[in-house]
Chain A
Amino acid sequence: MAGKTISEKILSAKSGRDARAGDVVVCEVDLALGTDASGPMAIDYFEAMGGAGVRDPHRVVFAFDHYAPAPSIATSRFHQRVREFAAAHGIGVWDVGQGIGHQLIVESGRAAPGSLVVGADSHAVTYGALNCFATGIGSSDLAAIMICGQVWLRVPETIQVALTGRLQEGVYAKDAALSLARQLGAGGATYQALEFGGPALATMDLEERLVLSNFAVEMGAKNGIFPADSRTFAYLEGRAGAAFSPVAPDADASYARQITLSLDELIPQVALPHEVDRVVPVTEAAGTPVHMVYLGTCTGGRVTDFHQALAVLRAGGRVAPGVQLVVTPASRSVLDALVRDGSLAEFLAFGAAVVTPGCGSCCGTCGAIPGDQVNVISTANRNFKGRMGNGNAFIYLASPASCAAAAVRGAIADPREFRR
C-alpha cells in the first residue's frame, strides 16, 4: 500500500480510519470558526436542527470581521444575536476591532500542526500554512459541528506543489500565489488538496506561507497545506496552548499530479479584472491608471505586508494626487505593531485612510467602497465584479509592494523600480 499525503494522515487521525483519497470520513473537529457573516445563519440552522447545547464550546470561536464596525442596523443585530448565543453557550467571541478571524486563529496559536480546523468562510484554508488540515464550510456545517463536534469530509487527492529557488528582490509570496493561480486556473484544483514542498520552503517565513495557503481556495482547492519545520515551531513558540503533532508526507505518498513553481524566475504579477486567474506580469499592465489602493485582508494585511508597501512609498516619496490609499490591518495586534514601530504614522503622513481591523473593503460589506469606473489595486485575493461593493469598479490584485508602486505613480507600476 502506498504511503500517505499530509491530508490523508491528518484525516486518518481525526476519523480513526485508514483514510485514503476518495474516502468519505467523519472527523472530529479541533476548532471551528464562525464570522459575523456566517454565524447568524449557523445559529438559525442550530436551532432548526433542535440543537440544545454546544458539544464543546472551546472548539468553536466567533469573529466579527465582515461588518467591523457595523455599517447598518441589520449588521448590528447580527452582532447582538451572535454575542447572545455565544454568551449563553460559553463560546468565545473576537468582537469588532479585534480583526479578521483567520488572522486571529493564526496569531493566537490555535491552528496547531496536525489539527483539523474549519471555518465558515472560504479563506479558512489560510491555516494550512501551519500544517493544519484547514478548509472552508458553510453555516449549516458549522451548526452540525456545534451540535456533534464532527464534520464529514471527502479525503482529497493531492496536487504536490514543489517550490524551488528563492524570491528575487521586489518579488513576493503574493506574486507566487498569483502565478500559481494562472498556472492552475480558478477551478484547477477543485476538490483537491495542494501540498507545498520543495527546497524553497527553507527560505520562506510563515507569513509568506500564509499567503500561498490563503490563495489555495482561489484555485478551487479544498486546502493548501505545508509541512511543519523550524520556522513553524518558531512562530508557535509562546503562542500554542496545547501540545501538537506535526505531520509530514510519506516518501511514497500518491499524488494526483506534481507541479513545480520556480521562484527564481518569477517577476511581479497582477490579476486583471474580473478573474483571479487572469494574471499577467506587472510589466504588461504597467501604466493602467489607478484611483484607489487597498492594503489589507487575510492575504496581505500583516505587518510584513505593510512594511513592504511602506518601503516603496518611502522610495517613491509620495502618493500620487487623486489616489485614495486605504490601510486596513488584519488584526488589532497588527495595528498595534504598526503604531509601535512608527509605520502607522508614516501611512497617515502619506494621507492614508486607516480603517478598523477586519475584512474592510474586501467584500464590499464595510469600509471604503470604490466609485464608478474606479480602478482599484488591492492586496486581497478576489477581484470579482462587484466584489468591493460596486459592480462598476475594476479590481486588480497584486503584492503590497506592487500596490504601493501604483500609489506612487497613480498607475500600475513595477515595484522593482523602487529599489533602494
Chain B
Amino acid sequence: MTALRLEGRARVFGDDVNTDYIIASRRKRESLDPVVLRQYLFEEIDPRFARSVEPGDLIVAGRNFGCGSAMEVAATVVLGAGIRAVLAASFSRTYFRNAVNNGLLPIPCDTSRIGEGDHLVIEPGAGEGSPLAIRDVTTGETVIAAALPDIMVDILAAGGLVPYFRLHGGFRV
C-alpha cells in the first residue's frame, strides 16, 4: 500500500450511481468476462463512456456509489476497463466490499470540487499509515481520504480476497 501512487484523468459521475448503471444485469447474463463487459460500462447513463475510457482513468462520484444490486461484475468490469480506483463521497456497502475483494481501490473522500477531466494524483499522505492524499493538479486543491478499516487495508495489500485467502486460508482480524 505504501508504494501506491496513481495518476489519471477524473471521469465524473453524480450521486446514487447504482450497479445496474455501472453494468446492466441483462449484460452479465451473457458473459462474466470483464473484457467483454467493459464495452457496456455505464451504457445506461453515459453511452459514450466505454469508447472514451482509457487505462488509468479514475472514477469520481458523489454519494452512495454502487447502490442497488450486490453483483460483483460491477467491480470487475471497472478493473477490466483499466480503472484502478473509484473516488466517492460514500459507497454502498456491498460495492465497497466487492471493490476491495477484487483489488479495486475505493477512496472515500470529498469529491465535490473535482471536475470532469481533471488530472489527479493519488499518493499516501506524509507519515506512516496516514490516509491517501488526492491532489487535483488541474485545480491545485488537495483532499484527504477517509481511512479504511484495517481488514480492508490488509485485503487490498494482498491484492484482493483471492490472494489474501491463498496466503491466510481464512480471515485474520
Listed in ascending order, the chain A residues whose CB lies under 8 Å from chain B are 24-26, 37-38, 40-41, 44-45, 48-50, 66-67, 71-72, 74-75, 120-122, 136-141, 143-144, 147-148, 150, 152, 154, 186-187, 190-191, 220, 222, 275, 363-365, 382, 384-387, 389, 391
Asked if B173 and A25 make an inter-chain contact with CB atoms under 8 angstroms apart, the answer reads yes
> Chain B residues near A48 (CB, 8 Å)?
162
Asked if B92 and A190 make an inter-chain contact with CB atoms under 8 angstroms apart, the answer reads yes
> Chain B residues near A364 (CB, 8 Å)?
24-26
A-B contact list, 29 entries, CB within 8 Å: A24-B150, A24-B151, A24-B173, A37-B28, A38-B70, A45-B161, A49-B162, A72-B30, A74-B29, A74-B30, A75-B30, A122-B94, A140-B72, A141-B97, A187-B90, A190-B91, A190-B92, A220-B93, A222-B93, A363-B69, A365-B25, A365-B26, A382-B20, A382-B68, A384-B20, A385-B21, A386-B20, A386-B44, A387-B25
> Chain B residues near A365 (CB, 8 Å)?
25-26, 29
Q: What DSSP secondary structure best describes chain A's contact surface?
A: loop
Listed in ascending order, the chain B residues whose CB lies under 8 Å from chain A are 15-16, 18, 20-21, 24-26, 28-32, 43-45, 63-64, 67-73, 75, 90-94, 97-98, 101-102, 149-151, 160-162, 165-166, 169-171, 173
Asked if A186 and B64 make an inter-chain contact with CB atoms under 8 angstroms apart, the answer reads yes
Q: Give the docked Cα–Cα distance between A220 and B169 (Å).
A: 30
Asked if A275 and B97 make an inter-chain contact with CB atoms under 8 angstroms apart, the answer reads no
Q: Give the docked Cα–Cα distance between A122 and B173 (Å).
A: 25
Q: What DSSP secondary structure best describes chain B's contact surface?
A: loop
> Chain B residues near A147 (CB, 8 Å)?
165, 169-170
Which residue of A137, A186, A190 contacts B70 across the interface (Cβ within 8 Å)? A137
Known: A50-B166, A72-B30, A363-B25. 16 other contacts (CB 8 A): A41-B32, A49-B161, A67-B29, A75-B30, A122-B94, A136-B70, A137-B94, A139-B72, A140-B102, A140-B160, A147-B169, A187-B16, A190-B92, A387-B20, A389-B24, A391-B44
Shortest Cβ gap from A15 to chain B (Å): 9
> Chain B residues near A384 (CB, 8 Å)?
18, 20-21, 44, 68
Asked if A38 and B162 make an inter-chain contact with CB atoms under 8 angstroms apart, the answer reads no
Of all chain B residues, which has the CB nearest A75?
B29
Asked if A37 and B71 make an inter-chain contact with CB atoms under 8 angstroms apart, the answer reads yes
Query: Across the A-B interface, how many residue pairs have beta carbons closer than 8 Å?
Result: 142
> Chain A residues near B150 (CB, 8 Å)?
24
Shortest Cβ gap from A58 to chain B (Å): 19
Asked if B70 and A121 make an inter-chain contact with CB atoms under 8 angstroms apart, the answer reads yes
Which residue of A24, A138, A140, A148 contacts B170 across the interface (Cβ within 8 Å)? A148
Which residue of B44, B64, B161 contacts A140 across the interface (Cβ within 8 Å)? B161
Asked if B97 and A74 make an inter-chain contact with CB atoms under 8 angstroms apart, the answer reads no
Asked if B68 and A26 make an inter-chain contact with CB atoms under 8 angstroms apart, the answer reads no
> Chain A residues near B71 (CB, 8 Å)?
37-38, 138
Q: Give the docked Cα–Cα distance between A150 and B161 (Å).
A: 13
Shortest Cβ gap from A381 to chain B (Å): 9
> Chain B residues near A143 (CB, 8 Å)?
161
Q: Give the docked Cα–Cα distance between A143 and B64 (Å).
A: 25
Q: Give the docked Cα–Cα distance between A186 and B17 (Å).
A: 10
Q: Give the docked Cα–Cα distance between A41 and B161 (Å).
A: 13
Q: Give the docked Cα–Cα distance between A186 and B19 (Å).
A: 13
> Chain A residues near B173 (CB, 8 Å)?
24-26, 152
Shortest Cβ gap from A100 to chain B (Å): 14
Asked if A26 and B171 make an inter-chain contact with CB atoms under 8 angstroms apart, the answer reads yes
> Chain B residues near A220 (CB, 8 Å)?
64, 67, 92-93
> Chain B residues near A150 (CB, 8 Å)?
170-171
Asked if A74 and B72 make an inter-chain contact with CB atoms under 8 angstroms apart, the answer reads no
Asked if A144 and B29 make an inter-chain contact with CB atoms under 8 angstroms apart, the answer reads no
